[in-house]
Amino acid sequence: MKLLQLNAWTLRLSGSVANMISHESPDIVALQEIPDASIEIGLFPSLTEFMDRVRFHHTYFSPVYSFRFMAGAIDFGNAIISNLVLHDKNTIFTNLEYKDNFSLNDDDYNVRNFQHVVAEDENGTKFHLINHHGYHVPEHKRGDDFTLKACRQIDEYTKSLEGPVIITGDFNLEPGSESLAVLEKSFRNLSTEYGLQTTRNSLTHKSEVCDYIFVSDEVKVKDFYVSEILASDHQGLVLEFEISK
C-alpha cells in the first residue's frame, strides 16, 4: 500500500496536487489546510470539487473553523481521501473547539484537531491512520506547552488502538523537539530516520523539517521518500508499506 502526506496550502496549486497524486498513485492521502464549501469558491477548488478531479472513492473531512464567503461559508481543516474503505471515523480536538463564523481579527486561528480512521484494503487488511495539523508557534518550531499537550493526547489515544498505526501530518515542529519525543517513544519517526533535511521547498523561505510520518512496529516500511512534484509550500511525503500479519 502507499500513503501520501501533504500540507496542501489551501489547494491553491490544485492542479499540481492532482499531478502529485496521479504520479505517486497512493491508496490513501492525508491532507492539511483543506477548504470545503457548498458553494463555488472560484479562487481554488473545494475538497468536494477536488475529489471529483482525482476520482478517489472515500473521504473524511474534519474542519477546525468556518468563515463567511459571499453568500455561503467555507470550512477549513484536515482531510483524508482514499481508495481504501474508511471505518470508525473520529475527530478529536487538541486545542479549542470548532469555530463557526471565524474571524482572523477576533478569533484564535490555532484551533487544532486530529483525525482517526481505520483504513481497509480489498483483502481485509486494516490499519489505523491519524492525521494531524499541529499547533503553530509563530516564533520557532521548537514547540511549547500546547504542542506537548497535543502530542501527549495523540500518544494516549493510540494506546487504546489495537493493530498497526500510522500517524502523519504537518506538526509545525522541528526534529529533536520535546513534543515529538513523546511519539518517538512508541513509533518510528521516518522523517528523521531517513535523514530528511527539509520538508519545505522553493515556494517558501522556510527550510525546516516539520512534516512527519510515524509508524508502529506492525507497519513494514518498503520505501519512504519526498515527492519530486512541487504542489505546495510543503513537500509531499510518500510511504510505501505492508502490514505485518
Condensed to tens digits (0 to 9), the pLDDT of residues 20-36 reads 999 999 999 999 999 99
What pLDDT shows up at residue 68? 84
Question: 217 is written with which cell numbers?
Answer: 512496529
> What is the pLDDT averaged over residues 104-117?
97
Residue 66 has pLDDT above 90, yes or no: yes
pTM higher than the cut 0.75: yes
Q: Using 50, 70 and 90 to split pLDDT, how confident is the model at 43?
A: confident
The amino acid at residue 49 is E
Please state, in angstroms and rounded to a whole number, the distance separating the CA atoms of residues 200 and 206: 6
- Domains (range + CATH), the chain: 2-243 (3.60.10.10)
The length of the chain, given as a count of residues: 245
The predicted pLDDT at position 36 comes to 95
Cell 515529538 -> residue: 180
| C-alpha dihedral sign at 214, 216, 219, 220 | positive
DSSP 25: -
Parallel, antiparallel, or unpaired for β 2-7 and 28-37?
parallel
pLDDT at 245 over 90: no
Contact at 8 Å (CB) between 189 and 135? no
DSSP class per residue in 65-102: EEEEETTEEEEEEEEEEESSEEEEEEEEEEES--BSS-
Place of cell 505485518: 244
Nearest to 232 by CA among 46, 19, 48, 88: 19
